[in-house]
């Protein structure tokens, strides 16, 4: 496995304040997410997201999260944040995603994994339905949209899959390292996405928790690199 594949990318999601964007960047996040879903306690509108994106330095990616948004709303937000990656977290069909992105803009598709093992979910078929997605974001399926800080059983994931994955749902500085160690071998590459796990309150991030989360991710990367006898690049 290459050193690049062993480096876990990090997204801090649900940002609403400039100081939280700054804290994520300072800690070393690769991406920051803005929730354009009015029912979320972390909601910002597209104009506010565009303001917050102005805080980002080069090579830190903004991500706009939508839930069943009309196509015109997605396109209007893209006009305001033209360099954003899109994340579809609702019931969006492959055809919807294709139209929303014009078939060219990268996007993430959330796969909502049931907490109950009795509820079937075929992640490999889901991935095949969204071949144009840059990655699948793996989240817990709870009432409403978003994982609500819940961790789904990682054992429910297939033992081997060829696509890029983003692990989400209930991650914290305390459990993210275990998640990476358990889940990464199953996928082509793995990134992680955290929101409530680094918050002081809903929509308000805790800078210390963000730094702890990033440190825990890097520690997991080092553990996997040692076990694979790979030298990680400096970060």
Place of tokens 């955290």: 194
pLDDT computed for residue 141 by the predictor: 81
Q: Report residue 231's pLDDT band, with 50, 70 and 90 as the boundaries.
A: low
What's the pLDDT tens digit per position in 31-84?
Answer: 999 999 999 999 999 999 999 999 999 999 999 999 999 999 999 999 999 999
What positions carry a catalytic annotation? 13, 139
Mean pLDDT of the chain: 93
pLDDT of 4 > 80? The answer is no
Helix 207-228 × helix 18-27 angle, to 10°: 20
Answer for the pair 186, 160: CB distance below 8 angstroms, yes or no.
yes
Q: Token digits for 203?
A: 């929509």
pLDDT computed for residue 116 by the predictor: 81
Going through the chain in order, the beta strands assigned E by DSSP cover 9-12, 31-35, 61-66, 85-88, 107-114, 135-141, 165-167, 190-194, 199-201, 204-205
What's the pLDDT tens digit per position in 81-95?
Answer: 999 999 999 999 999
Q: Is 132 left (phi over 0), alpha (psi -120 to 50) or beta?
A: alpha
Q: Report residue 124's pLDDT band, with 50, 70 and 90 as the boundaries.
A: very high
pLDDT computed for residue 232 by the predictor: 59
Domains detected in the chain: 3-228 (3.20.20.70)
DSSP class of residue 151 equals: P
As a whole number of angstroms, the distance between CA 91 and CA 159 comes to: 25
In DSSP notation, 95-115 reads HHHHHHHTTTS-EEEEEEEES
What's the pLDDT tens digit per position in 152-178?
Answer: 999 989 999 999 999 999 999 999 999
Cα–Cα distances (Å) from 211 to 26, 30, 150, in that order, read 8, 13, 21
What's the pLDDT tens digit per position in 174-203?
Answer: 999 999 999 999 999 999 999 999 999 999
Cα–Cα distances (Å) from 208 to 30, 32, 170, 196, 213, in that order, read 17, 16, 18, 14, 9
Q: Report residue 148's pLDDT band, with 50, 70 and 90 as the boundaries.
A: low
Q: How many CB atoms lie within 10 A of CB 180?
A: 24
Place of tokens 């998640």: 179
Please compute the mean of the pLDDT values over residues 121-128 and round it to a whole number: 96
pLDDT computed for residue 145 by the predictor: 67
Q: Percent of the chain beyond pLDDT 90?
A: 82
pLDDT computed for residue 2 by the predictor: 54
As a whole number of angstroms, the distance between CA 114 and CA 186 comes to: 18
Whole-prediction pTM value? 0.93
pLDDT of 120 > 90? The answer is no
As a whole number of angstroms, the distance between CA 103 and CA 204 comes to: 34
Helix intervals (H) in 88-205? 94-101, 123-129, 176-183
């Amino acid at each position: 496995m290459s050193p690049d594949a062993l480096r876990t990318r990090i997204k801090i999601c649900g940002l609403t304040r400039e100081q939280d964007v700054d804290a994520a960047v300072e800690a070393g996040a690769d991406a920051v997410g803005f929730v354009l879903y009015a029912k979320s306690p972390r909601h910002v509108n597209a104009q506010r997201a565009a303001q917050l994106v102005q805080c980002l330095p080069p090579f830190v990616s903004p991500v706009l999260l939508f839930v069943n948004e009309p196509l015109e709303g997605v396109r209007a937000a893209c006009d305001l944040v033209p360099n954003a990656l899109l994340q579809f977290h609702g019931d969006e069909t492959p055809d919807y995603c294709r139209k929303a992105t014009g078939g060219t803009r990268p996007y993430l598709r959330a796969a909502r994994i049931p907490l109950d093992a009795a509820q079937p979910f075929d992640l490999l078929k889901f991935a095949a339905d969204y071949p144009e997605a840059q990655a699948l974001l793996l989240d817990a399926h709870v009432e409403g949209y978003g994982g609500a800080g819940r961790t789904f059983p990682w054992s429910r994931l297939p033992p081997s899959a060829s696509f890029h994955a983003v692990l989400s749902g209930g991650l914290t500085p305390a459990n993210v390292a275990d998640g990476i160690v358990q889940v990464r071998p199953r996928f082509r590459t793995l990134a992680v996405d955290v929101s409530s796990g680094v918050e002081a309150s809903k929509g308000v991030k805790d800078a210390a928790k963000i730094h702890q989360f990033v440190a825990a991710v890097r520690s997991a990367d080092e553990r996997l690199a040692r076990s694979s006898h790979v030298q990680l690049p400096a970060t």
